[in-house]
Each structure stands twice: as structure tokens, then as C-alpha cells.
Amino acid sequence: MSTTRIALLGFGTVGQAVARLILAQPDVSLTHVFNRHVARKRVDWLPGVTWTESIDDILAARPDIVIEVVGGRDPAGHWIAQALASGADVVTANKQLIANEGDRLLADASRNGRRLLFEAAVAGGIPVIRGIREGLAGDRLTRVLGVLNGTCNYILTRMESAHLGFDEALAEAQAAGFAEADPTDDLDGYDARAKLSILARVALGYALPPERIACGSIRPVRDIDFVYAAQLGTTIRQVSRAIVEGDGLVAGVTPGLVPTGAPLARAVRNQNIVVVTGDAGGDTGFFGFGAGGGPTAVAVMSDVLALSGHRVAAPAGTPDARQPVSVRAGMRERQYVRFVVDDRPGIIAAIASACAAHAINIDSVLQIPWADKQALPFVVTLDPCEPASLVPALAAMRALPFNVAEPFAMPFVE
């Protein structure tokens, strides 16, 4: 069998880990590494490799496989298109690119008779795309539920287990390398929704661009929410979900309450989990590390091996996706609303009246003893209600004069 020649675009965290895995494989050879300011990047453990800052050098070398681990949509997307046109198969870990431009790039691949694989773009080292496409192809999948962002999960589970405040847990995540200096994409759900967009297509067959997926930030979650969550037999996770509902979808990324025994609660620290539900097979879970050089490089390398024919054949492209008739952020479900109030008589009555005006029933009121009556946190749980009623009810509750912080609502994901 002839050697598969590989060019690597990007020699950062993932690129370096991929290079080490390539070295360990027979019949696969790393011929080129491309990076800006490449002199800074050279290492002595890759003998015989050509280092370059020019994408033209890569294309001229006609590699069998180009691995893109530069990140960002532009120019990475352009380089992938050029690589496909030059006759290379491509492996990428780039979730934003695949979520936003995957259709066009997959069409490019198919037009050129090449393949574009992206296992590492969702849940890092967890083989969820291959597992769904190959292992569950026989089922009709109707739901994807996941903890898809390791940074959020690290923060939330450290708040849960070590009783840290949000800012403390975020600082710890940053110090441990689990959160970026600017953590916006992670905390506000944009990273998870790119992955959910890819999963909606692979698992459910729906074209669901990231911007159609509503995002709720985990920033309002406070340590007190874990105390109340535990009283309710639950804990808190950043939940990504896409659920088929007739011809449409419910799709969103949101902090949510999950039962303590549920699979989503088992993902701790920077772990990820994906649970897909099929008509015939029921729930199937994929669990592991969704990020980090090592796990992500394993997913990249598995795509490389699939392409180079040393392992199982990879599926070609992605079948045509349907357009959802509607995409709703939430559905009829129980809700948790945490208030922080300047305590006075009549608070519960005012909240009850805001709920009643929208035909929402209060299920329970939870209040632990609290010294500071000027900033008293307590929780109201609501019976299942439609988003169309919940949204105006929350707006009315936000406007109540005794709030000293914005009321924070999240669904029970059951």
C-alpha cells in the first residue's frame, strides 16, 4: 500500500498533537506544515517536513490529504475550497466554518469527487458524527441533547462541587486553560450552537444555520441556583437541544435544570456528552472529552485514517438536508425562575398575579433562610407553560419594583 501524503495547515494546539499522532502511524506521512511566521513554529521532532507560509506551496505539492486546524472562517474556508479543487481530501476541526459554510464546502468536495470530513468539529475527541452516521443510520432520529461546551461545563460543575461563585469558577477555568481570555463564545452559547447546527444536520437531517438557534448565556447563573437546584433533585448544565416537532424544530442552547441522575448530569469538568433519541433504538449516548489537543487530534487522525483507507470507509459527503418549517427556542415545559428581591410584603402575590395574567400556574416557592433581606434570593417553579405565555410573563416579572437583580429563568430539561 502506498504512503498517504499529508499537509497540515495550522501548527497550534491541535496541529501539534495531530503531527505527533501522524508520526506514530505507518503508511501516513506528514510532508508539509503551513503556518504564519513559520520560523517560530519549527520543531526538531518532525524531520524531513517542509515548513511554509505559502498556501501555494501546499497546493503545488499535491498532498493526498490536507488537514485544516487553523480555525476561523476566513481564509480557512478559501484554503479548503482550493485544496479540494486541487484534488486533495480535507479533514477539518473547524466548527464555525462547517456550521456556517459546510453546505457549500461539501458541495465543492462532491463536485471535485473528494471528501471533506469534520469529526473533530463537534465534541472534540468523541466520535459522535461517525457514531451517528454509521452506527445509527438505520434509525429515524428525532432528538439531540448535549453538553457541548467544555468551558461552560467546567464552570458550572466547579460551582456545583466546590461551591465557587461564577467569577471564581471562570477565573479558575481560565487559569487551567479551559477558558479563553475572552470567553464570550463559550459562555453565551455561540460555540455550542455551531456544534448543535452540525448535529442537527448529521442526526436529524435538518439545515439549521447557527443564527436560527436561540442562545441563553450561563453568565446569570449564581452559586445559590445550585442550592435550589439540589432541592429540586436537579443540577445545572448548559444544554444544547434540537428536537423534531412536526415539520419544525425546537432548537436552543440554554442553561437548564437536569435531573441529578440524568446522563447530562454525568458530564463533569470539561467533559461533553451527546444523547440522541431514535424511534426504534431509543436513547444512545456518546461521552468523553470534547476539547484539548489530544482528544481533538484523535478525531482528526481517525478521519485521516478513514480517508486513507487504512480503516473503515468514510461516508461520502452529507445527504441533502430538509428546511425546518419553524424553529422554536423552547417548548411547553416546567420553568425555574430565581429572583433576588428587596424583601417586603406582597412579593409572592405580585409574581402570582403576573403569572396568572398569562395563565401560568406556580408549582412551588423555595426560600432558604437568608440574612440579607435587601438582596434575598428565592425561587419560583412554574408548571409546564408555552414560550408564548412565558415570555410576556417574565417581562412583567422583570418590571416588578422589588427586584434588585434581573430574574433568571431556565427550563427543566426532562
Ligand X SMILES: NC(=O)c1ccc[n+]([C@@H]2O[C@H](COP(=O)([O-])OP(=O)(O)OC[C@H]3O[C@@H](n4cnc5c(N)ncnc54)[C@H](OP(=O)(O)O)[C@@H]3O)[C@@H](O)[C@H]2O)c1
Write each residue from 291 to 310 as x if it is in contact with ligand X (CB under 6 A), else as -, in one continuous string.
xx---x--------------
How far is the C-alpha of 58 from the C-alpha of 42, rounded, in Å? 16
Sign of the alpha-carbon torsion through 60, 66, 68, 69: negative
Which residue from 10, 63, 255, 263 is in contact with ligand X, where contact means CB under 6 A? 10
Nearest to 237 by CA among 355, 323, 157: 157
**Cβ of residue 10: shortest distance to ligand X, in angstroms?**
3
Verify binding: residue 13, ligand X, rule CB under 6 A: yes
Q: Which residue minimizes CB distance to ligand X? A: 12
Q: Which is nearer to ligand X, 191 or 225 (CB)?
A: 191
Q: Identify the helix (H) or strand (E) that includes residue 9.
A: strand 4-9
Using the rule CB under 6 A, is 243 a contact of ligand X? Answer: no
Compute φ and ψ for 84, nearest 5 degrees: -65, -45
Cell triple for 9: 495547515
Q: How far is CA 260 from CA 62, 119, 128, 157, 233, in A?
A: 52, 29, 23, 12, 6
From candidates 6, 7, 14, 258, binder to ligand X by CB under 6 A: 14
Q: Does 193 bind ligand X (CB under 6 A)?
A: no
With binding defined as CB under 6 A, does residue 77 bind ligand X? no
Residue 302: CB minimum distance to ligand X, A: 13
Chain centroid to Cα 337, Å, comes to 24
Burial of 235-253, coded b for 16+ CB within 10 Å and e otherwise, reads bbbbbbbbbbbeeebbbbb
Cα–Cα distance between 66 and 87 in angstroms, integer?
10
| Least distance to ligand X, CB of residue 125, Å | 8
Q: How many residues bind ligand X (CB under 6 A)?
A: 20
Any catalytic annotation for residue 195?
Answer: yes
Contact track, ligand X, 99-138, x by CB under 6 A:
---------------------x---x--------------
Residue among 4, 6, 7, 15 that touches ligand X (CB under 6 A): 15
Task: Report the interface residues with ligand X, using CB under 6 A.
Answer: 10-15, 35-37, 69-71, 93-95, 120, 124, 291-292, 296
Catalytic positions, written as ranges: 195
